[in-house]
Amino acid sequence: MDVKDAVVMITGGGSGLGAASAREFATAGANVVLLDLPAAPGSEVLKTLEGQGIFAPADVTSKEQVLAAIGMARARFGAIHVLINCAGIAIAERILTREKPASLRRFARVIEVNLIGTFNVTRLVAAEMAKNQPNQDGERGVVINTASVAAFEGQIGQAAYSASKGGVMAMTLPIARDLASIGVRVCTIAPGTFETPMLATLSEPVRKALEANIPFPRRLGKPSEYAILARHIVENPMLNGETIRLDGALRMPPK
């Protein structure tokens, strides 16, 4: 799919991987719809897009709010061609601590945002993509989800996060098969340890320890590197139904 003049909706677009993707696609000539919580710095990200986007505040777990955001995109740009699901949360908690079991409420919240939220936005945007005119390959849209290497090698305390990202990875192929009939491709990126707000709160020694586990390049990933891959997925029509690790050959240790 040609990125120029495409309409790209990005959940979690107010920071981290989502914000980097917004800048990458805007630079390539796309129109960007930043979908994020009202309190997110979406307006600040918009200032870096040189007028090629809008901020559509919404909670990814809410059908009504996501439909309202889709309506804003349609009213401003007429369609949605690409969806990038970056919205997510992480809660570290062992399943048993000092003989006290983990919080079921916190576990369910991570699943609700990361997995159910991704599915919710995808299903609603896919219905909008079905209205698009197909290109010469019969393509109407592209969906890119965000999993994590934790989907493969979850660490101690990552039961909820790993389960949510494993679910995202597992549903990639069946959703790609579901949407093949309308010409919509679906892929997932599974990043390793990246310079995102989730890691910004960690101490420097902890960050250095994370970097030491990465074979090459021995550093944290840059959000712009995620964005470059997302753009390539959109532009390469044979990428479909696949989860791509983006991790510098990292395999996560237990802790």
Catalytic residues: 161
Whether residue 57 is preceded by a cis peptide bond, meaning omega within 30 degrees of 0, is no
* Interatomic CA distance for residues 88 and 115, integer angstroms: 9
Q: Tell me how far apart the 2 most distant CA atoms of the chain are, in Å.
A: 60
Question: How many Cα atoms within 13 Å fall on the side-chain side of residue 31?
Answer: 14
The SS3 call for residue 61 is: coil
DSSP 132: S
* Interatomic CA distance for residues 38 and 125, integer angstroms: 20
Cβ neighbours around 164 below 10 Å, total: 29
Contact predicate 124/73, CB 8 Å: no
The SS3 call for residue 199 is: helix
Closest by alpha carbon to 146, among 179, 104, 113, 181?
113
At residue 88, what are phi and psi to the nearest 5 degrees?
-175, 160
Contact predicate 153/251, CB 8 Å: yes
